[in-house]
Amino acid sequence: MKTKKSRKVRDHTGSTFDRFLEDEGILEEVEAVAIKRVLAWQLKTAMKEQRKTKQLMAKQLRTSRSQLDRLLDPQNISVTIATITRAARALGMRVILHVMDRKAKRA
């Protein structure tokens, strides 16, 4: 008769992912990229739904197409709030920023 090997129960509790990123010194950068990815996705989706080309969008924003490409680049976090707001307005949208306590639970 075979005996069952006893398994050790491992405690997987520990630090949160945010804590890990903080310990690595990259939390702010990771959060900024995540925010920019969402913004770029929302703008691209609205452009697609409204059938606006990059050329038309750049013309409405009175900017170059390469500047618009930087705005729509999910990795490029060096875009001003003013630029994001102008792009949103051109698409019939608006930007709402919300700053909250780091310890507050996210919805």
Categorize the per-residue pLDDT at 101 as very low, low, confident or very high, splitting at 50, 70 and 90. Answer: confident
Number of CB atoms found within 10 A of residue 56's CB: 13
- % of the chain beyond a pLDDT of 90: 66
Reply yes or no on whether the pLDDT at 107 is more than 60: no
Question: Which pTM value belongs to this model?
Answer: 0.75
pLDDT: which is higher, 9 or 36? 36
**Which residue is it, tokens 């090997």?**
5
What's the CA gap between 6 and 97, in Å, rounded? 52
